[in-house]
């Protein structure tokens, strides 16, 4: 099971946090600080796999990928395959690239709802539900289309009331 998905910038500021194990906010912040401490102290030429027992408890692993100014981090238990999770990070980033034409930190900051929609299409309740980037994009586009049409209908209803 995936326990958390975290995107942190190189200054240690979390940009996306999704914990699938209920954690108090203070504990989440502590875990993010601990993860960042580990990531920023690692050399560039070492493995992207970390045994995270000291941070999350026994049987927990962490896989990360560093893209530009962001660390994409997935925390999971020993039932998951490390290489499959690394591939899942790649699917997540590729999907975000399709959404934003080469995703950057500002895209994440100003479009967090879209990012959570993408993430929810890939992982639900800590379980991987979709690994095909094209399928995820298709579903995300349908959701955004529905949101826009509902916003348009709400605006139309609101302007109709004003004319009375």
Query: In angstroms, how far is CA 108 from the centroid of its own chain?
Result: 10
Q: What is the pLDDT along the chain (164 residues), one digit of tens a residue?
A: 999 999 999 999 999 999 998 889 999 999 999 999 988 888 888 888 988 888 888 889 999 998 888 999 999 998 899 999 999 999 999 999 888 887 888 888 888 888 888 999 999 999 999 999 889 989 888 887 887 787 676 666 666 655 55
Task: Print the domain residue range for 113.
Answer: 2-162
- In this predicted structure, what is the pLDDT of residue 26? 93
Identify the CA nearest to 61 among candidates 71, 76, 47, 46. 76
Identify the CA nearest to 47 among candidates 12, 81, 86. 86
Number of domains in the chain: 1
Round to whole Å and give the CA distance between 35 and 94.
23
Predicted TM-score of the model (pTM):
0.84
In the chain the first and final C-alpha atoms are separated, in Å, by 55
Which own/partner contact pairs does 128-136 have at CB distance under 8 Å and 24+ positions apart?
A: 128/2, 128/88, 131/87, 131/88, 131/91, 132/91, 133/91, 133/94, 133/95, 133/98, 136/91, 136/95
Identify the CA nearest to 95 among candidates 49, 133, 59, 146. 133
Whichever domain contains 126, its CATH number is: 3.30.450.60
- In this predicted structure, what is the pLDDT of residue 25? 92
CB atoms within 10 A of CB 124: 13
Q: Is 101 left (phi over 0), alpha (psi -120 to 50) or beta?
A: left
């Amino acid at each position: 099971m995936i326990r958390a998905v975290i995107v942190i910038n190189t200054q240690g500021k979390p940009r996306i946090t999704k914990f699938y194990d209920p954690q108090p906010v203070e504990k989440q912040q502590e875990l993010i600080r601990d993860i960042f401490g580990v990531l920023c102290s690692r050399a560039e030429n070492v493995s992207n796999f970390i045994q995270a027992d000291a941070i999350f408890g026994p049987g927990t692993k962490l896989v990360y990928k560093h893209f530009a100014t962001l660390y994409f981090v997935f925390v999971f238990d020993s039932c998951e395959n490390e290489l499959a999770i690394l591939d899942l990070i790649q699917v997540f980033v590729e999907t975000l690239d399709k959404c934003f034409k080469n995703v950057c930190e500002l895209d994440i900051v100003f479009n967090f709802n879209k990012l959570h929609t993408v993430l929810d299409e890939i992982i639900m309740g800590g379980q991987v539900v979709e690994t095909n980037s094209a399928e995820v994009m298709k579903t995300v586009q349908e959701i955004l289309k529905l949101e826009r049409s509902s916003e348009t209908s709400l605006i139309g209803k609101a302007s109709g009331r004003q004319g009375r």
